[in-house]
Every structure is written in C-alpha cells, then in structure tokens.
Amino acid sequence: MHKRKLGNSDLEVSAIGLGCMGMSFSYGPPKDKQEMTALLGAAVDRGVTFFDTAEVYGPYLNEELVGEALAPFRNQVAIATKFGFDISPNSDPRGMKGSPGLNSRPEHIQEAVEGSLKRLKVETIDLLYQHRVDPNVPIEDVAGAVKELIQAGKVKHFGLSEAGVQTIRRAHAVQPVTALQSEYSLWWRKPEAEVIPTLEELGIGFVPYSPLGKGFLTGKIDENATFDSSDFRSTLPRFTPEALKANQALINLLGAIAQRKQATPAQIALAWLLAQKPWIVPIPGTTKLHRLDENIGAVSVELTSDDLLDIDDAAAKIAVQGARYPEKLEQMTGR
C-alpha cells in the first residue's frame, strides 16, 4: 500500500483509509462484532494504517469495536476520532428531532477525549477532529482546548470536519490543523471552489468521507433500491428514486472508464480522488471483505491526465440531482 502525508504534518498514513462508522451506525443495525473485528484485522494485513471513528457512532459502540480490534496492531496504525456532539441521554446526536445537539465547549472536549482514550485503549489519539463546527463556541477556544490536549500528550494532531474556510483559517492560527475531513467525490465537488485551495495554501491534508457517494458510486444502487428506516440514506434527498434515476448518468460514465481500465466504477471514483492532490486520503467505509479488497485496489489504477480530462468533461455535462442532506443537517456544514 502506498503511503501519503496529510499536508505539512508528519502524519503518514496509507493512501486509502477505512471509515468504520457503518460497522456500528447509520447503515442499519450494528454488524456482527466478530466479523467486523476480523475485517479490521484483514485491513491491517493489507496495509491499511488509517482508521476513522467517532464517539457519536453508536454512540460509543464504534470506538469500542475499533479500540478492541486494533489493540494488537497499535504501533502500526493511526486512529482518528471526533468530538463535538452532545451525547447526553436526552440529546439527539443526528439533529433529527430537536436541536442538533452540538457541544464543543472546552470542558466537554476534555471529557470526550478521556472517554475516547479509554474506549480506543490508547494513551494518545493520533488525530482528533471537531465533528461539526459549533456556532456557540468560538473556534479559537476549540483549537486552544485541543492545543492543551496536544501539549498534555493526549492528542497528536488536530482536525476539523465540514468546516468553512474562515473557520479553518482561524483554527489553524491557534493550533495547526493537520487534516480536514469533509465529503468529496465525483458527485459532491463543492470543496473544489474554496476549501481545497485553502488547504493547499495552509498545508493541511484532506480526508474525503463518503468518497463513493454513500455507496452510489459503486454502481450497485439504482432507482429501485429501497432503504430500511434504520439506514441513514432513507432520509437523504439524493437517495429518492427520482434522484437515483437522474444520477445514473454518473454511473454510466464511471462504468465506461472502468471498462477501459479493467477496473470497477468504485475503483475509478477512488482513483479520481487520489489523482486530485497528493495529500488527499479517502476513507471509504465497508463491512465486506471483497469491497475492502476492491477499494484498496484503486491505489493501483493509473488515471492519465487525458483520463482525468475525459472524466471532467463528461462529469461537467451531468447535473447531479438532489440535496446531499436534509436542510437541518446541511446547515451544520460549511460554517
């Protein structure tokens, strides 16, 4: 597996990481713990060294799973986790019912980190993200709190998720930001306008989540797909039958290039991301070994400058339909 450095930092990780959320949260009921433990071990065997979790996934279940499964490989891997939601018994972490339940007050960050350290079975968190920007807490206070945790040896690197460029700049001025994690793929290219140039200027790495469009870019989901109410996608405008049908043009494009390259649509989508910048590390999630192997295989897919031009030209003619989140969740991004 090729390695990449996240921005100007010394955090070097596998070119493709593993998003672990779906093992415990968002895509139906939690998966079998033994199977997921085996999958995480298999990922390490295949050279994956970058694993992504968060306290809100479960809540807590995913951190516990990742911590236990990766304990034997602790010195070989980097684990990223996140704080920023209020996961008290009465809160609603997804913001589906009442308030969004954000909490990035410095004292809450300290508490969250203590919990994450225990669940992950580590003495230091490799990369700690603010999960969503909290409009009630100045980002300088958040960055300052993480800076103290870094000085105390409890955290190595600071990250932000779905933050806007002004927030990134203000945070970076207090405590250098190692990575931004935000959605980015062939069907969500908004970061190209302002975010990616800002990251390049400041020397910050980029970790795209949902690099396969929550499964859509694998080519395995069409307008007849149905999603159980426990599947987060059942709430997303982009996963209505109408949007899925309209967006099929993007799958046709990936399929055509995949045929030419003797690859799969998912591998082309990931290879396209890897080709954008040398400091981009996508974190596709999966619960299946054959998908893990497929995703890792994207590292070997060479896209030439002509291939990239072809993809861009064709993609420019496709208007992706449907918002990526319901309005309430979209409001929590880009702040």
The catalytic residues are 57
Q: How far apart are CA 78 and CA 213, in angstroms?
A: 24
Structure tokens at 238: 């982009």
Q: Is the peptide bond before 59 cis (omega within 30 degrees of 0)?
A: yes
Tracing tokens 């433990």 back to the chain, one arrives at: 37
Q: How far apart are CA 248 and CA 230, in angstroms?
A: 24
Question: Any residues with CB less than 8 A from the CB of 15 and at least 6 apart, and which?
Answer: 1, 2, 3, 4, 274, 281, 299
Q: Which residues pair with 182 in a beta bridge?
A: 208
Query: Regarding beta strands 12-14 and 3-5, do their DSSP bridges make them parallel or antiparallel, or are they unpaired?
Result: antiparallel
Structure tokens at 323: 């918002």
Q: How far apart are CA 160 and CA 178, in angstroms?
A: 9
Burial level of 97, CB count in 10 A (0-12/13-18/19+)?
exposed
Residues in the chain: 335
**Helix H or strand E encompassing 209:** strand 205-209
Alpha helices (H) in the chain, listed in sequence order = 33-45, 61-70, 106-120, 139-151, 165-174, 195-202, 241-246, 248-261, 265-276, 289-297, 305-316, 327-330
CA distances from 273 to 40, 49, 53, 212, 302 (A): 23, 18, 21, 10, 12
Q: Would you give the distance in Å from CA 74 to the centre of its chain?
A: 21
